[in-house]
Structure 1
Amino acid sequence: MRKLWGKAGLFGSVSMAFGSLLWSQQKVEPDQVASRCPPADANATSPYQLMLVQVLFRHGARTPLKSIPDVMEAQWLPTLLDPPPHTHINYVVTDLQGGPRPPAPVEDSYRKNILTSQTHGLPCPPALDSWREKVEQRAVDMMCHVYEPSKRQNLQLCVGPLLHMMMNNMEEKVQGTSSEPSRKLFLYSAHDTTLIPCLMALGIFDMRWPPYAADLTLELHQHRQTNESFVKVSYVGQDQLLPGCSGVYCPLQEFKQMLSSYSLTSERYQSLCNSTDGLTEP
């Protein structure tokens, strides 16, 4: 299992490197929408009452080009960015023949010119612009190879605990057992390589790399007459009809059943990570 997790981590790291090269200003096409509904609480006649909102969004660059006037810069301890020892993966990138890692001038140029220039609204060389779609497609293909549905355990280990936590937040709200009963909003800042597996687990990945600030939003609603709980999911502001759900407003039990294939408790997650089944001695 450690070998499997190691592979997933390796591919995830590589895909993040590819992902950082992608076109950051791309727009999501409107025709990808499965369904669109007006906000449930837009008027008092709506049969649904909004109870809880959870937003998982892709953050942007962490470091601005220059200081923000009249805002004190945050001070970071370098050790905070050191990866925990137990997450270290011992691997070496080589060429196809096992030799030294080959140079990647196209990748370096793309990162320096396309990504940086477009993110900050600067013109980019026309000769490099043609690489945009190819880089995105290669990165998407790599993510699909690692997290395709037939490799369910990879998806579980990647986003299983996160999905379980978000599901647990909703159940606690419904049952009235939350430690913060008045709380109605959770915001989670995430990488693009976290958003994609979440979209895959929900069955709504559109084969497009998430742009900066892309958000996956889970809304918990309660029917005003029956008190039944429903979940509505949207991606980049567009409501989604999830596989296995009878409508855009998905009954909570249907949503929970749909997530059960990928959701992992922390105990189950640790058990899978510590499993040695299928490993052979080096």
Structure 2
Amino acid sequence: MDRAGHEDAALSFDPLRPKLLRVAYRMLGSVADAEDIMQEAFIRWMGADRAAVREPEAFLRRTVTRLCLDQLKSARRQRETYVGPWLPDPVVEEEEEEDVTLPLMLALERLSPLERAAFLLHDVFGLAFDEVAATIQRDPAACRQLATRARAHVRDARPRFRVEKERGIELAKAFFTASRSGDMKALGALLAADVSIHSDGGGKRSAAIVPIIGFAAVMKVHEYLAGLFRKDGSKLVRAGFVNGLPGFVTLEADGELQTTALDIEDGKVAAIYVVRNPDKLRHLH
């Protein structure tokens, strides 16, 4: 394709890219994979008869979704051999994401690829079932059934009470201070009785290979970690929302970044999600 054709394709593709990237990321849970999907979708857009496409956004959304469905087949096989808990790549933002938080993304992992697509396209992105049907190449009635089954699986993962933005960031900063300083009394006051830790090192950095469940176990882990933090240091880089949850980014003693996201229920930290796998943190640099 000549330069003019490339520029023409980019002119119509680039304004839609943020929306398309949101679809791809929420389908895949991987920033790098979502970016690869964007590149492939653009290549296909360049090769399409764009003058004949009446609705570029719908055309590209269908292209992206179908590429993601293909990608999910291989991704599922890869995650079967993943070392320790798998968490989605962290996306850090100033504002809280209202549509898909980290617990919901984890719940989506339990769905079939078609259930995941139907739920996201209809319940999250607001598409009519006729459009969902055209996108995933199933009839509207089947898409309704897919979305209904998906809703039943993810219902408990949707937050019942959202923490206010300022309060969420305040709790995240208090958690950082208490966990790094070794103030176990202050840390314990922040935790729910059934609190859990889910850490994703991917076999490339130290992390628990199974979730740590319960107040006593979580406190014991943090008491041990606090000694390491005091010795080697852990620097707060940024507080914000990590995949829609209050959290923070830190620079650890090994020179690598780390993200921590806190699922807060009734004013207490109910779950702690830590991403340490460097492959999942590259985009944050």
| TM-score, length of structure 1 as denominator length | 0.23
| TM-score, length of structure 2 as denominator length | 0.23
Structure number with the bigger relative contact order (C-alpha 8 A, sep ≥ 6) is 1
More helix by share: 2
